[in-house]
Structure 1
Amino acid sequence: MSSSREKGSFSKTSIEKETYLPDIADEKVVDIENVHEESSDSENELDADVAELPKVVREIVPLEDDPSTPVMTFRYFLLSFIFIIPGAFISTMNSYRTTSAAYSIFFVQIASHWVGKWLARVLPHKKVKIGRFSFNLNPGPWSIKETAMVTITASSGATGNQGTSALSLAEIYYGEKVNAAVALFYMWAIVFVGYSYAAIARNFLLYDPQFVWPQALMQTTLFQTQKRSDADSKLGSKQMKVFFAVLIGVTVWEFFPEFIFPMTSSLAFLCWVAPRNKTANFIGSGLGGMGFLNLTLDWSNITSSIMLSPYWIQVIQFLAFVVGAWILIPAAKWGNLSNFKYGLMSNSLFMSNGTSYPTSQLLTADFRLNETAYAELGKVHIGAQRAWNMFFDYASYISGIIWVVVFGYDTLGNSFKKLIASFKDRKSNKGALSINLQYTDRLNKLQSKYNEVPLYWYVVLFLASFITLLVIFATGQLFMPWWCLLVGLGFGSIIVTPLAWLYALSNFQLAIGTFNELLYGYMVQNSSVRHPAGAVTYGAIAGDAWYRAQYILQDQKIAHYMHLPPKAVFFSQIFGELIGVPINYAALRWVLSSKRDYLDGTKVDPLHQWTGQSIVSYQTNAVQYVILGPKRLFSNYPMLPYAFLMGAGAPCVFFALHKLFPNSKLKFRLWNTTVFFSTLSIFFGNVSTGYLSQFIGGTITMFWAFRYRHNLWKRYNYLLAAACDTGYNLAILLIFIFFSAAKTVSMPNWWGNNAVSIERCFALE
């Protein structure tokens, strides 16, 4: 088989050239020269600066630019407010649900474009003066760059906030409500720390064309579709019709699994065959069992990940699910994998007889361990699945770092050399590095027309955030010693680049919270400040150093593709969070006031949605890491430390296999152990529906359609993903408005909404 790499057409060859594709499990699909049928130009016919770009980028990203196009307009600011407020509320609300689909940034992308064009028609062409400043209400036709700016701003502000976890934990379990001003500044500061940390990785991963950032490329595809539609393109018009048809259809349908017909959210076929058989019910149930052959028709259990994540990522994740749910769970329940048979799929803590552990009795007034009570109550037990969740969580964290070291050493090394060169060849651009000028591809040449963000902007943002957090912790306003802040920021700076490397290639985001909380437990064992909520507070700081850095880098890659001024983009991301954080806090207050009975266990949600599993998990971690301490945890579960050895060794094994068998059909470089371990660490067994449906859907979209119907896939895959996510979120919003906002209205029980079990698994214990 002939490929561009074999012809030596690219000036560089590396693993990253192959890993950006939605499906690279087969070499025929890796050969992107053959799958994109619309392009027939040979590499030799392309300009040198264009040939340096990956083929998929050349086909999607515009390679011309008009720097005179306005982007920071009155219309931009107005639409940013309109789309951030509901997104920030929904995203925070969803964090307390067991499953949900994220507030669709595609909805913002589509809707803001249409509203923007409407504003361009109806707003007066009037100049407004406010003091020394002036602006035009309607500077001209709505541009795709304005759409991109609104989308990037919403991507920043219309999200959840990790700070709500610590605030929720303290209030639900310990009755402590944090002052609203402290909460807001804490939430702002942890976000802006992450934004400032983007400066660490951007020179490695942003300008280099081989890092395509799959989601950024996907959103660019939608922008280009919208642009074609504006030009009266027949194809663009048809795509928009398909988008809105699917959006309306999904919106109407989601009323059924979410309210009218909840049985469709978990189709447990084995329960239908044997509704009174305990074993069959446990094996088939997706809401409390293994979920074997269980399907779902609820988009919240599927999500657009089946249309976004590369197929090789979805294969690894499904294999991890099979291992966790269909192998380890029955081995623990009916075999000898675990001696503790209670709470198999629970995040809670238990007594030796299986009853809930009275953790409140373990605390003294100063939040230390009550040794006398602990001796009387006995050892704290965790369910078997919770134990291996922790094991694989530790392994995934170490694996993420080692995998990048062994597989990404050459690539990051080359980027580092370019970074050094940029210091030597510094441009007089108000202190900004000219790293993008070290690359000679067309996109970096186009972006060189704009002033880069000065490095001191990131430094100032970091110092402001750091001082805010330091004051909060030094004055005892939150639950953590001030010096732990320094450690958290130090660890955050280490992981930004390796984890962003993984995300830039695969669209996979590694969850890192439990490892951070374990480290915090070691740090505070002899500290005078040992509030249980301190662990999740520390995790939010160290975690957001990575999570928010990833967000800002991804959006800056979109800006790179869409030729937006870097300084305007940087401002838009800060602006988005200034709007979003107060809405996050308002949503937190609404959830705790209206859903608290479900979250604290007083009542059981029949849909198993308002369970606050993440808060329960944080509480379990708080008891284990802060109250009892890691030493007791590892003493009770001596296998846990071996997770670090597995996390370090597994990437090395696959790297060795890749070197020994570089042309093997098994593609050892794709079997990313970080993805496998991380999936095993986040799986919750009491909601095992959706995984099989996801894999089936992903096989259709990212394997079959991508390979055999590629032109159709390229036109509609991302549009359908956007439409489905948007329809789901609109349905959830309407259900909230119609049935919860003023007075709670419950759906009457019927055959499809059984009061005992909506799955009709009547023997499930």
Structure 2
Amino acid sequence: MFRRQGAGAEKDNAISAAKADGVAKTSQTDAGKAYESTIEQASSVSSANNDKANSIREKALEDVVEVDADLEDENDPEIKDIPPEVRRVVSLHDDTTLPTITFRYFLLSIIFIIPGAFLSQMNQFRTTYAPYSVFFVQIASNYVGLWLARVLPKWTVPLPWGCSFSLNPGPWSVKEHVLVTITAASGATSNQGASSIAISDLYYNRKIHPAAAIFFMWAIDATGYSFAAIARQVLLYDPQYPWFQALCQTALFETQKKNIKSPTKSARRQMHIFWAVLVGITLWQFLPEYIFPMVSSLAFLCWVAPRNPTANFIGSGLGGMGFLNLSFDWANISNYNAGVPLFLSPWWSQVVLFCSFVFCCWILLPAAKWGGLGHFHEGLMTNRALTADGSKYPIADLVTPQNTFNQTAYDINGPIYVGVQQLWSMFFDYASYVSAYGWIAFFGASQIRTAYRKFKNRRKVAGKGINHQYDDRLNVLMRSYKEVPLWWYVVLFLCSFISILVIVAKGILFIPVWTYIIALATGAAIIVPLGWLYAISNFQLPIGTFNELLYGAMVQVYTDGSYRNPVGASVYGSIAGDAWYRAQYMLQDQKIGHYMHVPQRAVFASQVFGIILGVPINYASMSWIIQAKREYLTGEVVDAAHIWTGQSLATSVTTGVQYVLIGPSRLFQETIFKPLPYAFLVGAAAPAIVYALHRLFPKARFDLWNTTIFFSGASIFYGNVSTGYLSRFIGGFVVMYWAYRYRYELWSKYNFILAAAFDAGFNLNMLLIFLIFGSAKVISAPNWWGNNADNAERCFALDS
């Protein structure tokens, strides 16, 4: 992305000179020959010495990996298409004999999915969060795997039909390690379908049968995984798409592998730094999360004028503009709701996102509060449905016991209003969705066309039945394994399709059958454009409420008022939206398998196993949260720390009422909602304008000012939390701009390791807080100066 300078550039120049003299090529050739010779030696070892043979193979890999990054010949046709940052991380050699799916794999998957699925689903009800870290699983599972390889007996367990498996097939394999991590990434996550089930219970007192709920949650995940087949050939195998999150995890896998088998001084230092940062973050997070919440949002203006309403609103990051507000809480700094992680996202994407934050919080918010922006000024900092006087709208009254629209209640309470901030959040939400298509049409179409032409001109490798259109080293290595056949994806889709179809047909999920078919179609349509954006920028576009709007428009055809339960919009949105989210997860983890040379079929099986195991745990977690935090989630009790606000649920409820009960046609006729349809025009025009500027002024790099990321950032509801963005911008400047440009060698060694340590430390802290202070009896932190019961920031006059 940026031209390297400083020490890193000098080293690159030296290496280039060496290559010109033929030195690097010779060294790499010698290393490759040595590796092949050692593998032949390992193959000659008898089956009784499998442990020794595996050790020889892995040691050979370690020896040759050391020269991969710097001594590969960039003119080699198998090397030149692989990006430099990938070559510096990924091994370009493979041992096809390493074990993959073993007894140890299943045991470790179960151990790590159960707590992960629980915590991840719990996070969905929090205002800010950092997800259950796959890096934590990656670190911990490696040590447990090594321990199991030492203590498990080497027994062979017989199975029916002449099959058997070994409890301990030999040394702990890096491919087993990768598969355990991928399975956890699949199963130890939250589930989109839980929102619909929770809203039905919390707001409408309709509890969905547990069996139907679990099958629905599993099926939407499986649908997304099957949809990954749509973009796999275009976005997965093409080396020009780095998939930064996958590259980050690969860097840690490679470091762990080196540190175990043949630790170099550099590898040992990397692991020492990883553990030091992990322990430090784990201990530090007790302060903002429990003991000293004030450090989660340092509102300096509130310290100067704690009783001044204006200063409080400007400075507060928990209900205000967050101006000059800093945070030392990793949940706020990382805030994956924003979609641009500090250590993993290119600097340009972080700049665009910060600009959207400044535009919303430091320009639009004061304009709305004091400048007359908008016609309705009640409830500026809330995303809940309101009446004309700003009080909470009794939305449950709008649904009759027969699941139809209650016109009488609507006439009594009047039209639904929302705050100005929620209004522009909806506007930019629509704009970002349309912009995604426009951006790829102008800036990504040529790449997609090239990939498609390669796919059409693919050739079959003799005897394998595998289609390959790329000839880089990584793709050549993967030809040793059988590709996942298309019919596997088709079967997975049919299982999910039938499950949801039956549930919908029985009237359990509030939507008509034909809208389910359209949800599948709209979900499939966005896989390639949004996958392309994520593959190049590490930005995952939140689908937002466009799907709910579409559903609301469709159900208006039922003039008798049937299918007017607002939960239907959330159900539809989870089906269409999770198709993209889960497809992205599958593609990203398959890219990890690609980088680590893990058989494609083993990766596919591990991902499906993950959701089978994780979904029931998701449901159990959701049920516990609803029971324990019901008053906070419904807004009956206000959480002083703004953690248990159920912000995403509140937004879903509001949009469901607007789009399903009121209907888009009636809604957009109301004065405050009339500007919203213009968002589609803005979303379509903005990429065209930026593209024209880019063609006129190519050196100005207008192509980096991604309108989709900007609109998506502007659509974030900052009413509850507007802190952490300035801290992340400062950190991003240091890490992804200064260090990347001027300390590239240091950055390449430690950046991804630090990313893993921060996320792993935060999630370990969350787990410890839950076990120590919340698992048996909830123990609240004592109130003191740094944990004021009235306001954690000490903004005592805050009034939005």
Q: Distance in 2 between matches of 1:738 and 1:571?
A: 36
Sequence identity (%): 57
Q: Does 1:655 align with 2:688?
A: no
1:14-59 Cα deviation digits (max 9, x unpaired): xxxxxxx4xx4xx557999778679544686642211121222222
Say yes or no: does 1:545 pair with 2:575. no
Superposition deviation, residue 112 in structure 1? 1.1
328, 335, 338: which one pairs with 2:364? 328
Change (3 A) 1:147 1:37: farther
Aligned to 1:632: 666
Structure 1 counterpart of 2:284 = 253
1:680 aligns with 2:720: no
CA distance in 1, matches of 2:643, 2:634: 13
Q: In the alignment, which of 700, 715, 720 is matched to residue 749 of structure 2?
A: 715
Change over 3 Å in CA distance of 1:682–1:30 after alignment to 2: farther
Aligned-partner residue type, residue 105 of structure 1? V
Out of 604, 624, 630, the position equivalent to 1:570 is 604
Alignment of 1:74 with 2:111, yes or no, is no
Q: What code does the residue aligned with 2:231 have?
A: A
CA distance in 2, matches of 1:357, 1:584: 30
Counterpart position of 2:230: 200
Aligned-residue offset at 1:513: 3.1
Distance 1:345 1:122, change over 3 A: same
Question: Which residue identity lines up with residue 397 of structure 1 in the other structure?
Answer: Y
Query: Which residue is 2:545 aligned to?
Result: 514
Alignment CA distance shift 1:323-1:429 (3 Å): farther
CA drift at 1:426: 4.7
1:360 positional shift: 2.4
SS state of the match for residue 543, structure 1?
helix
**Aligned residue in 1 for 2:488:** 457
* Structure 2 CA distance for aligned equivalents of residues 616 and 653 of structure 1: 35
Identify the match of residue 127 of structure 1 among 150, 156, 171: 156
Inter-partner Cα distance in structure 2 for 1:756 and 1:112:
42
The CA deviation at 1:433 is 5.1
1:302 aligned partner: 333
Match of 1:7 in 2: none
CA offset digits 1:93-126 (Å, max 9, x no partner):
0010001111111111111111111111111222
Q: Does the 8 Å contact 1:367/1:532 carry over to 2?
A: no
Contact kept in structure 1, 2:8 and 2:745, CA below 8 Å: no
Query: How far apart are 1:309 and its partner, in Å?
Result: 1.0
Matched length: 734
Among candidates 497, 517, 523, match of residue 528 of structure 2: 497
**Distance across 2 between alignment mates of 1:249 and 1:450:** 42
Of 42-51 and 320-329, deviating more is: 42-51
Paired amino acid for 2:124: S
Q: Tell me the equivalent position of 2:167.
A: 137
Report SS of the residue matched to 1:686.
coil
Specify the code of the residue in structure 2 equivalent to 1:556.
Q
**Which segment is superposed worse, 543-552 or 53-62?**
53-62
Aligned to 2:517: 486
Report the counterpart of residue 164 of structure 1 in structure 2.
Answer: 194
Of 229, 243, 246, 1:216 maps to: 246
1:6 maps to what in 2? none
CA–CA separation in structure 2 for the residues paired with 1:155 and 1:149: 10
SS in structure 1 at match of 2:88:
helix
Distance 2:720 2:13 in 1: 45
Does the residue aligned with 2:238 lie in a helix, a strand or coil? coil
What is the aligned partner in structure 2 of residue 8 from structure 1? none
Match of 2:129 among 88, 100, 113: 100
Structure 1 residues 454 and 34: alpha-carbon distance in aligned structure 2, compared to 1, 3 A threshold: farther
Q: Which amino acid aligns with 1:389?
A: S
Q: Does the Cα contact within 8 Å between 2:564 and 2:660 map onto a contact in 1?
A: yes
Whether the 8 Å CA contact 1:352–1:378 is kept in 2: the answer is: yes
Q: Aligned in 2, Cα 1:605/1:570: closer, same or farther, shift over 3 Å? A: same
- Structure 1 residues 578 and 114, CA gap change in structure 2 (3 angstroms): same
Structure-1-length-normalised TM-score: 0.93
State whether residues 114 and 617 of structure 2, in contact with CA within 8 Å, keep that contact through their aligned partners in structure 1: yes
CA distance in 1, matches of 2:686, 2:4: 28
Q: 2:480 is paired with a residue of what secondary structure?
A: coil
State the distance in 1 between where 2:694 and 2:197 align. 46
Which amino acid is 2:277 matched to?
A: V
Matched, 1:227 2:227: no
SS in 2 for 1:752: coil
Question: Paired residue for 1:397, among 433, 437, 456?
Answer: 433
> How far apart are 1:356 and its partner, in Å?
1.4
TM-score by length of 2: 0.89
Residue 146 (structure 1) aligned with residue 170 (structure 2): no
The whole-number CA distance in structure 2 between the counterparts of 1:488 and 1:639 is: 26
Cα 1:35–1:689, aligned 2, differ >3 Å: closer, same or farther?
farther
- Residue 364 and residue 37 in structure 1: after superposition, are their counterparts in 2 closer, same or farther (change >3 A)? farther
- Contact conserved, 1:367 with 1:627, CA < 8 A, in 2? no
Q: CA RMSD in A?
A: 1.8
Q: What is the CA distance between 1:196 and its match in structure 2?
A: 0.5
Q: Indicate if the aligned counterparts of 1:399 and 1:673 stay in contact, CA closer than 8 A.
A: yes
Deviation at 1:210, TM superposition (A): 0.5
Change (3 A) 1:47 1:427: closer
Q: CA deviation at 1:626?
A: 0.5
- Residue 320 of structure 2 is aligned with which of 274, 280, 289? 289
Letter in 1 for 2:508: Q
C-alpha separation in 1, matches of 2:8 and 2:234: 25
Q: Structure 2: how far apart are the matches of 1:705 and 1:735? A: 34
Tell me by how many angstroms 1:526 deviates. 2.8
Paired position in structure 2 for 1:14: none
Aligned-partner Cα distance in 1 for 2:462–2:493: 23
Aligned match for 1:356, one of 392, 401, 406? 392
Q: Deviations over 1:532-572 (max 9, x none)?
A: 10101000110111110000001111111111100111000
| Runs of 5+ unmatched residues, structure 1 | 1-20
**Contact in 1 for aligned 2:224/2:583 (Cα 8 Å):** yes
Q: Can you list the C-alpha shifts for 1:146-171, whole angstroms capped at 9, x where unaligned?
A: 21111111111110000100000000
Give the deviation of 1:581 after TM superposition: 0.4
Asked if structure 1 preserves the Cα contact closer than 8 Å seen for 2:466 and 2:482, the reply is: no
- 1:34/1:496 CA distance change after superposition, 3 Å: farther
Q: Distance in 2 between matches of 1:519 and 1:30?
A: 52
Find the aligned partners of 1:102 and 1:92 in 2 and give their Cα distance. 9
Q: Hey, what's the Cα distance between the residues in 1 that align with 2:413 and 2:629?
A: 31
1:709 Cα shift? 1.7
Counterpart-to-counterpart distance in 1, 2:528 and 2:5:
28
Residue by residue over 1:447-491, the C-alpha shift from the partner in whole angstroms, topping out at 9 and shown as x without a partner, is: 111110001111111111111111110111211111111000011
Q: What are the equivalent positions in structure 2 for 1:668-747 lying under 5 Å apart?
A: 668-747=702-781
2:73–2:79: 8 Å Cα contact kept in structure 1? no
- 2:299–2:317 CA contact under 8 A, matched in 1: yes
Specify the alignment match of 2:90 in structure 1. Answer: 61
Choose from 634, 639, 646 the match for 1:612: 646
Q: Distance in 1 between matches of 2:396 and 2:631?
A: 18
Task: Give the aligned partner of residue 64 of structure 2.
Answer: none
Matched, 1:600 2:600: no
CA distance in 2, matches of 1:433, 1:394: 40
What is the aligned partner in structure 2 of residue 242 from structure 1?
273
Give the match's secondary structure for 2:157: strand
CA shift in 2, pair 1:266/1:139, >3 Å = same
Q: Tell me the CA shift for residue 369 of structure 1.
A: 2.9
Cα deviation, 1:695-732, whole Å, max 9, x if unaligned, reads 11111111111122221211211112211111111111
The separation in 2 between residues aligned to 1:545 and 1:29, in whole angstroms, is: 41
Change (3 A) 1:207 1:749: same
Contact 1:29/1:35 (CA < 8 Å) preserved in 2? no
Distance 1:30 1:345, change over 3 A: farther
Q: Secondary structure of 2:158's partner?
A: strand
Equivalent residues of 2:7, 2:744 under 8 A apart: no
Counterpart for residue 113 of structure 1: 142
Q: Which amino acid aligns with 1:262?
A: P
Q: Note if contact 2:786-2:792 (Cα within 8 Å) is conserved in structure 1.
A: yes
Q: Could you list the per-position Cα deviations for residues 600-644 of structure 1 after superposition, in whole angstroms to 9, with x for gaps in the alignment?
A: 122121211011101100100111000101112211211101100
